[in-house]
Structure 1
Amino acid sequence: MELEVRHLRALCAIADTGSLHRAARQLGVAQPSLSTQLRRIEQELGGELFTRERTGCRPTPLGRTVLGRARPLLAEMRTLVAEARAAAADEPQLRIGSTASRALAGWLRRLRVRRGEPLLQMDVSANALLNLVAEGRLDVAFVHEVEGCPLRVPDGLRLRVLVEREPQFVSLPHDHPAAGRPVVHLSDLAADRWMVDPTVDGEWDAVHRMLRAAGLNPRILHGDYHTAATLVATGEVVTVCQPTSPSRPEMAVRRLHGDPLGVRLLVAARTEAELDGVFPELAEAYWETARQAPAYREWLERVASQPLGPDAVAVC
């Protein structure tokens, strides 16, 4: 058996969903078929890639190694296919940059229907993406600006605000004492280790300010989003997260009391016409994602008095 792209997609789906059942549904296959496929992949590679537990599937050390190589390979394959299709159609391809967002999948799906397959470039640095737009290497960028850490916006860029202030929530282990409450005080997390991604523009400084303002000085570890999610699930750390992040059996997403940390969600382009061409689809995708996140939905409807119908607009 030789590993194929479909096998890598299956492994990433299992890791992303944390469940064979959910991964099978996402891939459009039967769960027994996916289980058989996983066993064959593990036999080919010579070891278990996931531990099967009552709460779901977690990557083993070997699994994390394989996933670390599989994700960029899949991203490169998607880019190759998209560029080839655009070249075959002799049509200009929309080039999008984005920082991490749960709304991204819905945005791309909507754009694909109207404008064909976009070319996507992800980056944790919003400033780097803005520079790529200014240089003409990207058409638009969807970025977040951490409160208190203004972005360096190049001259000539047009900005449009999707959400003026999106509160950041906290992700904590499901068995954490504070996970049983809908709103968590920072003082409830005084004894916990935190994880922060220092490569995200402004996040390190903002989290430090938030913790200092609460009189806390916890141990802070460095790590990316995937590492943080893994360590939260195993009870090692807590971390700030987007309010659209879903709770899972092994982790809980909760609102922080007083909403001490927020970000501004922005779309950047060189012209208003380019913004007009992508903004409606992004807004639809974002509010669709917000409706699917119970804790954020409650915050929007009760705290921000923000309706979440099909015509929802930005929170200001």
Structure 2
Amino acid sequence: MELELRHLKTIRAIADAGSLTKAATRLGLAQPALSAQLKRIERALGGPLFVRGREGVRTTALGDLVLDRARVVLPAVCELQEEAVRFARNRGPGGGCSYRLGGTHGPLLGALVDQLAAADPGAPVTTYTSWSEREIAVAAAEGRLDFALTGVCGESAPPEPGRLAWVEVARDPVYVMLSADHPLTARPEIDLAELAAEAWTDVPGDGCFGDCFAAACVRAGFTPACVYETDTASCVHLVQVGRAVGLCRATFPATPGLVTRPLAGVPLIWRHLLGWHPKARAAAWAPAVVRHARAAHAQALGRSAAATEQLAG
């Protein structure tokens, strides 16, 4: 029998679990089947890898040698696979540019698509959206996306900081969304504490925004009594009918029946970020994509509710 990667994974799983029974459960195998497989591996390697006892298993000297090599080989093979996937998927038709963009909710992704399509009509542009900032970042790190367009609050670290290169596209103050007939719309800006009795609505996500919002509320002296977490259209509806107030970025588009106002003291800042894998082929055109992303932000800001209200004033 020739040694295969799956055999090294089995050895590592047994060592990590500390017993054949636990390892079998983690691997989805019956314990007798795992024992038989281990015996075949040990015969191929020339001796026992583990000593079995009442408290589980421990590695022999040969087992230590093999396990040490496995812990080097397995990550290296995983990295090789990721690099190969990135290379194959980043080639694009004819070896030219292709843009696979991932992003969360908001108008910036659409504006970036428009910028790229106008600047390079022959290059294919595809998009993927998710509520999960981590999912978008991991997809870029693994080569399934070229660029991740997401963001964080204030100075919080972006997802996958050790695997992706990140550049700040822009910073926006976080605004509050109110129904058009809300009594506070007459104010040029609103103190967060004045909204303590309100119900809130927000979109889901696994980033830092929820924690940053909760911390800002605590600093303002209250804890939100009710938060409706739902999709963007439902958030807008709840605000329009006066059922809740919400938070948005300065790029939020003008919407009938809804107004946006800055929060006094700017308790929350959103940083728009663009990330990519530094070893991916797409990294070569990252500077151009950053420029287009910044132009997309300016475009979205010009169409925002805040800009519309400023012009109307």
What TM-score does the superposition give when structure 2 sets the normalisation length? 0.62
Q: State the SS of the aligned residue for 2:298.
A: helix
Could you tell me whether the CA contact under 8 Å between 2:97 and 2:123 is conserved in 1? Answer: no
Residues 43-74 of structure 1 deviation map (CA, whole Å, 9 limit, x = unaligned): xxxxxxxxxxxxxxxxxxxxxxxxxxxxxxxx
Q: CA deviation at 1:138?
A: 0.5
Shift of 1:109: 1.4
Q: Please list, as runs of the form range in 1=range in 2, the aligned pairs for 1:123-142 lying within 5 A after superposition.
A: 123-142=130-149
Shift of 1:103: 2.5
> Any idea what SS the aligned residue of 2:238 has?
helix
C-alpha spacing 1:172/1:126, structure 2 compared with 1 (3 Å): same
Distance 1:160 1:298, change over 3 A: farther
Q: 1 CA distance for matches of 2:242 and 2:206? A: 23
Q: What percentage of aligned pairs have identical amino acids?
A: 26
1:228 is aligned to 235
Say whether residues 1:273 and 2:284 are aligned partners: yes
Question: Contact 2:249–2:270 at 8 Å: present in 1 too?
Answer: no
1:1-316 correspondence to structure 2 within 5 Å: 93-113=98-118, 114=120, 115-147=122-154, 149-163=156-170, 165-221=171-227, 222-271=229-278, 272-293=283-304, 295=306
Superposition deviation, residue 91 in structure 1: 6.5
Distance 1:199 1:160 in 2: 21
8 A Cα contact 1:130 1:154, kept in partner:
no
Structure 1 equivalent of residue 20 of structure 2: none
2:134–2:160 CA contact under 8 A, matched in 1: yes
Deviation at residue 201 of structure 1 after TM alignment:
1.2
- Structure 2 distance, partners of 1:152, 1:246, is 26
Partner Cα separation in structure 2 for residue 143 and residue 99 of structure 1: 6
Shift of 1:187: 2.6
Deviation, 1:286, is: 0.8
| CA drift at 1:151 | 2.8
Moved more, 173-182 or 101-110: 101-110
CA contact (8 A) 1:174 1:250 kept: yes
Query: 2:145 & 2:302 partners in 1: Cα distance?
Result: 30
Structure 1 unmatched ranges of 5 or more: 1-85, 300-316
Q: Secondary structure of 1:111's match?
A: helix
Q: Report deviation, 1:102.
A: 1.7
Q: Which amino acid aligns with 1:287?
A: A
RMSD of equivalent CA atoms: 2.6
Larger radius of gyration: 2
Mapped to 2, the partners of 1:193 and 1:237 lie a distance apart of: 5
CA distance in 1, matches of 2:294, 2:155: 24
CA distance in 2, matches of 1:259, 1:92: 39
Shift of 1:295: 2.8
